[in-house]
Structure 1
Amino acid sequence: MTLARRISLVTSLTIVVTTALFATLAAFSSRNAALDAVDQRITELRRTVAENGDPVSALLQSVESTSPDFVATLIVVGEDPISLLESTPTAPTIAPLTIDQLSSALGDAITIGSGIPFRVVSIGLGNEQWLVFGERVEAIQSQLERQLLTNALIALLLTILGGTLSAIITRKSLRPIGQIVDFSQRVALGHLDISLVVDSTSLEVRELQESISSMVDSLKDAANSRAQSESSMREFLADVAHELRTPLTTVRAYGDLLATTNNADPETRARAQDRIAQESRRMSRLIDDLLLLARLSSTKPEQSERFDVCAVVKSHADDLAMLDPERPIDIGCTSHVICANRALIERLFANVFSNIHRHTPATAPIEIRCTTRDEFVEFTIDDSGPGLEQAHIQQLALGTQRFGSVRSTDQHGTGLGLHLLTSIARSHGGEVLFAKSRLGGLCVTIRLPETALATA
């Protein structure tokens, strides 16, 4: 059974039970009110005639002002009842009563008669004589039955109308649930390019729609991030393969030369041995960088210490000034102490200044600024080199594009400098940002937290 049908059924049952209950209570309350009115009349009449010395005569004198359903009988124990009113074929009569019934009627009015009910009271006249009078309440009982039947029909009509209206409203209100189910099934099949319309008039269903829509948006972001991460990993592995292939090719070529050329002159042999040694050292550095990247991606840096990071920046800026004496360097830094792995931070800034040295003209000015913002120490390094296209800057921001592949044809180093740069910053809870410099070249922003590392 669907939820809509279940709700409609429960609503219909609630309506019929509630309506029937209230209708029954109303009918019986009306019947009781009518009986109370009869009791009040005959009790008041009994009080009036009882005060007269001759109750029978007084009762007969009051008959004309009573209800047409009024009955009066004189009962003598052991004899047939004597009707005090003129009898007609349709005139009601009171059946013989027991002593217990006669005694009960001395107080409150009682109901007698099975076929035709009466409400009667009695007055004891002495000598085993009783004056019994009252009113026939058959009409009241008939009215109760008619009212119960009418109320039952009304309850049935209200149930049909209420059930139909409930089914319509429920089906309309639950239609967004069906849309959510269809949407979820399509998402489960991998269709993340669809969207869920948030249009329900119900607050709860609208909140559900918004929550599911937000969840699917998160899934989309996660899928996009995963795809981007996989693409980045493929590019990274391609870079590593390229960086390994170059020295291996060189080593293999010179190795084959030495192995196949027995009469090589000493100069050629010395050059081959030197190139093999150079490329072997390059491969060794590449392997060291790969191991460092693996360590940074799996654990936080250890051996943290407090030191002045601005002193580190100034030290590498002085090194750059020694390499490029004609390069104007403007440093605006004050002392800022952070808690980090000093060796890794040294490596980070060494990579930055090494790339400036290799990929910008030796006379290109650079500016270095240091500020604090939101509990981060922020270094901004602007150069006036040839700069990069916006697409290349976005590739650098992903951390998968090597500097050399977009800034020049210089292939010195291991080719993993950018990977190390971003990995070192992220391992310390920081980040590296790239943008176009106001000097015309590249602007590198390095943000490092002032607070201690979790492992410190």
Structure 2
Amino acid sequence: MIRRIRLHATRSGSLRGRLVWGAALLAAVAVLAAQTIGFLVLRSWLLHRVDEQLDDFVLPPQSFSHDADPGRVLRPPDPETVTLPSDFRLTFYDTAGHEQGALGGGRAPGPDLPESVGGLPRADGRPATVQAVSGDGRWRIQKKTGPDRSSYVVALPLDTLDGATDKLLWLNAVVLAAALAGLVALSRWVVRLGLLPLTRMEHTAQDITAGDLSLRLPDTDPHTETGRLGTVLNTMLDRLEQALHEREFSEARLRRFVADAGHELRTPLTTIQGFAELALRHEARSPAERREGDRLIAQNTERISLLVDDLLLLAKLDKEPAYRSERVDLLAVAADSVSEAAHQSDGRLIRLGTLGSGSAADEEDLELVETTGDPHRLRQVVGNLLANALTHTPPGTKVDVRVGTGRSGPTTGGTDRPGRTSPSPPLREGTPICVLEVADRGPGLSPEEADRVFERFYRVDPSRSHDHGGSGLGLAIASAIAQGHGGRLELETATGRGSVFRLVLPAGSGTP
């Protein structure tokens, strides 16, 4: 089937050739039809003129001479008594219908007429066409009634008509040939000019095929077919280029993810392997050494288990996360998370307040902040944010947890603005939102670090030491959960000015 389609496409020729010959054929048919109509009209008009001449010609009765027998035409009129117009010929028949003679001269052979009236092509008096007695000439004849039931036939040669029509046919043939040649040449020029945008598209497409994906089709006029085609193809090329960039980014991200995962797993596995080999080689160790080795093995096993759990959770969140849909009070979630984090604060002051306040709020200042979602996952998000703040700030740093409501915008959050980073798309401005902020007064992050802080396995510490952070999955998990609830997690930070992580969720309803 594919071979047949290709063969048919090869035989069909190029679009330019089909357009040229199609236009030339249509124009030739139009010219031929006009010539045919003109030829038929001219021939009909000339023949009608001949018929009018025949019809207008009538012999007066006194032109006929009689015998002694009255009532019978014995002979045709005397040529000296009858003056005929040029080219006219008369043939006379008696009352019995027999030919009696002819009148008229000329060098051209006369009409081939029968010897009796009954043999005439038309005996009803209407004009008819007959051949000449010799040669290829033709005559137009008409029967007329004479005196005493005699009759005669008036004839006119059609040489002038045939000559005019023959010359017209030759002229039409020459004009048709010249018109066809001119139409082919003109059609080629017009088609080449009309297909010029397609030719430019072809050259651009060849360059794009060669590898230059940044090129775009130049003709995008919305008022033409090729312009609209160019617009559609440019849009397709934009999407294709974007898809290729996303694919390259995804491949690079996957390679970095695999490398980071291998690095995170290699350290605890090396530790476990080393202490296991040490236990096998040195069986006569002291109880204190065995306990220390077992503790380190258990500690690194726990690290591997936590890392695997986080990876499985991220895979689950990326695939089809299943969230519970319940009414959740973010203020209660924040209070519980602050209470749990206080035991690990290491001298850091954690305060719970309202959105927009700079200090701890009294109980009467706190308000109910409700949304819809999975309370366990939202509590996990707040816990990850607090753990991140406690891990990356020095002892004695103040950490503020603020909860409130508002509408999405540059001030409250939920939309993009300079200095604000988020891996999730922005919300529509003016959307009612619930906001939970975790703000610290630590060292902050540079713009380059802020752009990558939500990446998986990314840690600001280049040594990747676990003394200054976990595996680098906490913020990635928190961002995935926030986006799964129809909101987003965003960061506002600057070097030396601390960091503000903001969880933005739709007020009263989520999309779990």
Give the shorter-chain TM-score range: 0.7 to 0.9
Q: Offset of 1:163 from its aligned partner?
A: 0.9
Query: Is 1:371 matched up with 2:406?
Result: yes
SS at match of 1:405: coil
2:250 and 2:240 mapped to 1: Cα distance? Answer: 15
| Equivalent residues of 1:384, 1:441 under 8 A apart | yes
1:113 aligns with: 131
Structure 1 residue 108, shift from structure 2 partner:
2.7
2:40 is aligned with 1:20:
no
Q: Is the contact made by 2:201 and 2:217 (CA closer than 8 Å) also made in structure 1?
A: no
Note if 1:195 corresponds to 2:215.
yes
Q: Is the 8 A contact 1:392 1:406 kept in 2?
A: no
Q: Deviation of residue 160 (structure 1)?
A: 0.9
Matches within 5 A, 1:327-366: 327=350, 329-332=352-355, 335=368, 337-361=370-394, 362-364=396-398, 366=400
- Determine helix, strand or coil for the equivalent of 1:74: strand
Compute the displacement of 1:143 (Å): 0.9
Match for 1:95 among 81, 90, 112? 112
2:19 equivalent in structure 1: 7
Q: Quote the Cα distance in structure 2 between the aligned partners of 1:153 and 1:313.
A: 97
Q: Any idea what SS the aligned residue of 2:240 has?
A: helix
Deviation at 1:317, TM superposition (A): 4.6
Distance 1:160 1:278 in 2: 93
Which has the bigger relative contact order, CA under 8 A and spacing at least 6?
A: 1
Q: Any idea what SS the aligned residue of 1:104 has?
A: coil
CA shift, 1:350, in A, is 1.5
Q: Who is 1:151 aligned against?
A: 172
Residue type of the partner of 1:371? G
Distance 1:144 1:99 in 2: 31
Deviations 1:277-315 (A, max 9, x none): 322222221121122122222222144434334542454
CA distance in 2, matches of 1:92, 1:158: 39
Letter in 2 for 1:20: L
Q: Which amino acid in 1 is paired with 2:489? A: V
Does the alignment pair 1:413 with 2:462? Answer: no
Q: Which amino acid aligns with 1:363?
A: T
* Contact 1:340 1:452 (8 Å CA) reproduced: yes
Closer/same/farther in 2, CA of residues 401 and 73 from structure 1, 3 Å limit: same
Other-structure match for 1:81: 101
Q: How does 1:31-180 map to 2 (within 5 A)?
A: 31-46=43-58, 54=62, 68-76=86-94, 77-83=97-103, 85=104, 87-88=105-106, 90=107, 93-97=110-114, 99-100=117-118, 102=120, 104=122, 106-114=124-132, 115-125=136-146, 129-180=150-201
How far apart in 2 are the matches of 1:334 and 1:385? 28
Distance change in 2, residues 1:171/1:67 (3 Å): farther
Deviations 1:81-135 (A, max 9, x none): 321x4x34x2663432453565836443222225332333222226663122243
The answer to whether the 8 A contact 1:336-1:377 is kept is: no
Q: Structure 1: any 5+ residue segments left out of the alignment? A: none
User: Percent identity among equivalent residues?
Assistant: 23
Please give the secondary structure, in 1, of the residue aligned with 2:477. helix
Relative to structure 1, the CA distance from residue 129 to residue 53 in structure 2 (aligned partners, 3 Å threshold; closer, same or farther) is closer
Structure 2: 5+ residue stretches without partners: 1-12, 66-76, 356-365, 409-427
Any conservation in 2 of the 1:251–1:275 contact (CA below 8 Å)? Answer: yes
Maintained 8 Å contact 1:384/1:437: no
Partner of 1:326: 349
Contact kept in structure 1, 2:128 and 2:140, CA below 8 Å: yes
1:390 counterpart = 2:447: yes
Equivalent residues of 1:378, 1:445 under 8 A apart:
no
Which has the larger share of helix?
1
SS of 1:131's equivalent in the other structure is strand
1:139, CA displacement in angstroms?
0.8
Task: Report the Cα offset of residue 200 of structure 1.
Answer: 7.3
- Which whole-Å CA distance do the structure 1 matches of 2:240 and 2:486 have between them? 25
- Segment of structure 1 superposing worse, 350-359 or 169-178: 169-178
Q: 1:204 to 1:287 in 2, by over 3 A?
A: same
Amino acid at match of 2:163: S
Query: For 2:179 and 2:330, how far apart are their aligned partners in 1?
Result: 81
